Copies of this chain bind each other. A is one copy, B any other.
Amino acid sequence: MGTTAPPASLTPAEARSVFRAGRAVPTAGWADGHTQANLVAVPADWAYDVLLFAQRNPKPCPVLDVTEPGGTSTVLAPGADLRTDLPRYRVYRDGRLTEEPTEVTGLWRDDLVAFLIGCSFTFEAALGAAGVPLRHLEQACNVPMFRTSRPCRPAGRLHGPLVVSMRPIPSQLVDTAHRLTALMPGVHGAPVHTGDPGELGIEDLDTPDFGDPVRMLPGDVPVFWACGVTPQAALMASAPPFAITHAPGHMLITDARDADYRIA
């Protein structure tokens, strides 16, 4: 790493420099308190569809910033280079995942527009601080994510299912979790569903579509939040000719603070 500091204590700029140098690890726990963001970059010809899809589906797609065509910087992280400063990327061609490189300098195009989208890491920090246990962190796995039977509201050529993340929450803390995340609409907001997974068309909580299965403890209730993987699912379903995203869990660490996204 070129540093012996614990990742949580790094500044966002330090963390980005580590990733720019080639380290390719998930960003959970890095640069504590700073907002991490999903990346979706598409050709300018598709940018209106993506922005409108986000407007029409704000819970899964809370847009934090949009770049100029061909731009590689964001107001959320001055000095960052979007082509190199995430630890790992995914490249989609005609809706198919073709590569997972650690930098995309050679693939960036003059017409790419990048969308930075809020991430549940932000509200997990708030939940943890309020004493709401996060089972996937306790069990050292990724949060489980599921495609649902609920379609997103389409926008132009973009369509796809709502994807949700699931966190088991002790029943007496479900209200707290709901109230806290409702105050953070910029990072997915309140849960979209609590309880029976069947109502979302989810057949088996033990076989997530993305991430890892997580063990429920006695008294836990499954709580479902809209998930930032939704736009990636829409890219796969809608097949723009070219797109670049972050690799799941390998986010952009911004200079914004999680606290900035709590509205009250």
Contacts and interface: CB of A to CB of B under 8 A. Distances in A.
Interface of A: 47-48, 51-52, 54-56, 63, 66, 179, 182-183, 185, 189-190, 263-264
Contacts of A182: 263-264
Question: Chain copies in the assembly?
Answer: 2
Contact of A47 (B48, B179, B185, B263): B48
Contact of A264 (B55, B56, B66, B264): B264
**Which 5 A/B pairs are nearest by Cβ-Cβ distance?**
A182-B264, A48-B48, A51-B51, A182-B263, A55-B63
A176 to B, nearest CB: 12
Contact of A263 (B48, B51, B190): B190
Nearest to A47: B48
A264 B37 CA distance: 24
A3 to B, nearest CB: 34
A179 B264 contact: yes
Contact of A66 (B56, B66, B183): B56
A263 B189 contact: yes
Contacts of A179: 264
Given A182-B263, A263-B185, A52 B51 contact: yes
Contact of A55 (B56, B66, B190): B66
